[in-house]
């Protein structure tokens, strides 16, 4: 749903927790069998209208409207740990067979506490999975050239397979110019114009799917939620193409200038909110039985917390949980899956570089 330039953080038909080692050309090839999301090309269907608008599925998944007043909490943390464990197994196998591991570099400009926490969590996840990680930090008053020079070094470093710029950047920096400087082949955040373009086009596979939308799709699939043909209210950027163009939901886009957002959202079977506004989406906005993915992570000052703040979501959880069929908590929902997809994209990038398929 709505968003305040959060990130476009956001696949192979796969079986969860299955990993393959295939000997090929003198070394072992690894296939990412830990994600359940199918490849995007495999989802492409002819856009042919028929008089019967219903879809016949040989194995229909439960309708979101069949659940009433018994919300399931989608445990993104647990699912992400499962995915990261499988990634770790592949990284270990890669190291044992070719002596290489994936590498991720992160640029952190500024001293925002929430950004520092997000980067810390990403680096910790890399360490646990055996992925090499490097963080280059800059103060709030850093220059654009300093950031661009660091990006250039990471682009040229053959041990680095993924480069991530933590957003938001200090206001005096040109975000577009800096993001465009990330090498396409290392754009593990999936926000390079070529990756975004291929995501939007049928018959194309981007090198990387943005991490947050990719994680959301994985959560829905693992939770048995049907996407095709459902009404989905989303934010206006990274989620629209993957939900609408590739997974065939009927998408409505809500933003800060939308009139009657409550009325539009109340028609949705699936609501994805990434506005970054605490408790923006109230229970009155939601249809009974809807599925809610709360992408918003809003730092709210709280002296009782060790870090001085706590994270809350866009959705008023206490109201929504009594009404919807399934919902992600904040924290512990979409956030951990976003990090897991970042690791997945970094692993895929390394396998591509080393000829592992």
Alpha carbons 199 and 44: distance in angstroms, whole number? 12
Sequential DSSP letters for 264-275: HHTT-SEEEEB-
CB 61 within 8 A of CB 227: no
- Please state whether beta strands 27-31 and 20-24 pair in parallel, antiparallel, or not at all (unpaired): antiparallel
Q: Of residues 100, 132, 186, 189, which has the active-site annotation? A: 189
Query: Does the active-site annotation cover 122?
Result: yes
Q: Of residues 100, 132, 166, 186, which has the active-site annotation? A: 166
| Coil/strand/helix, residue 129 | helix
Alpha carbons 104 and 40: distance in angstroms, whole number? 25
CB 280 within 8 A of CB 254: no
Backbone angles phi, psi at 292, to 5 degrees: -120, 125
Nearest to 10 by CA among 173, 183, 208: 208
Buried residues in 173-205 as b, exposed as e (16+ CB within 10 A): beeeebbebbeebbbbbbbbeebbebbeeeeeb
Number of Cβ atoms within 10 Å of the Cβ of 42: 12
Q: Of residues 100, 122, 230, 287, which has the active-site annotation? A: 122
Number of Cβ atoms within 10 Å of the Cβ of 81: 15
Query: Does the active-site annotation cover 166?
Result: yes
Residues catalogued as catalytic: 122, 166, 189
């Amino acid at each position: 749903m709505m968003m305040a330039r959060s990130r476009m953080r956001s696949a192979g038909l796969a079986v969860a927790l299955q990993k393959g080692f295939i000997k090929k050309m003198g070394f072992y090839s690894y296939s990412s069998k830990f994600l359940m999301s199918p490849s995007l090309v495999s989802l492409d269907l002819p856009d042919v209208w028929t008089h019967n608008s219903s879809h016949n599925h040989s194995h229909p998944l439960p309708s979101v409207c069949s659940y009433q007043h018994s919300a399931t909490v989608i445990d993104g943390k647990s699912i992400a740990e499962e995915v990261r464990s499988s990634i770790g197994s592949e990284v270990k196998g890669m190291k044992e067979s070719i002596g290489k591991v994936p590498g991720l570099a992160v640029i952190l400009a500024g001293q925002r506490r929430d950004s520092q926490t997000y980067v810390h969590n990403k680096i910790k996840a890399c360490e646990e999975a055996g992925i090499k990680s490097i963080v280059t930090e800059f103060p709030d008053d850093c220059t654009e050239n300093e950031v661009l020079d660091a990006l250039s070094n990471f682009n040229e470093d053959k041990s680095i397979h993924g480069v991530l710029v933590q957003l938001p950047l200090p206001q005096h920096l040109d975000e577009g110019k800096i993001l465009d400087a990330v090498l396409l082949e290392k754009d593990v955040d999936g926000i390079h114009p070529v990756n975004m373009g291929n995501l939007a086009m049928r018959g194309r596979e981007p090198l990387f799917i943005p991490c947050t939308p990719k994680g959301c799709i994985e959560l829905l699939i693992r939770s048995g939620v049907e996407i095709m043909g459902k009404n989905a209210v989303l934010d206006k950027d990274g989620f629209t193409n993957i939900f609408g163009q590739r997974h065939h939901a009927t998408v409505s886009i809500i933003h800060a200038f939308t009139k009657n957002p409550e009325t539009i959202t109340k028609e949705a079977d699936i609501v994805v909110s990434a506005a970054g506004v605490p408790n923006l989406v109230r229970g009155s906005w939601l249809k009974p039985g809807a599925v809610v993915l709360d992408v918003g992570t809003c730092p709210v000052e709280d002296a009782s917390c060790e870090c001085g703040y706590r994270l809350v979501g866009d959705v008023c959880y206490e109201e929504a949980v009594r009404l919807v069929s399934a919902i992600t908590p904040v924290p512990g929902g979409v956030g951990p899956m976003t990090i897991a997809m970042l690791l997945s994209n970094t692993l895929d990038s390394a396998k591509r570089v080393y000829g592992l398929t």
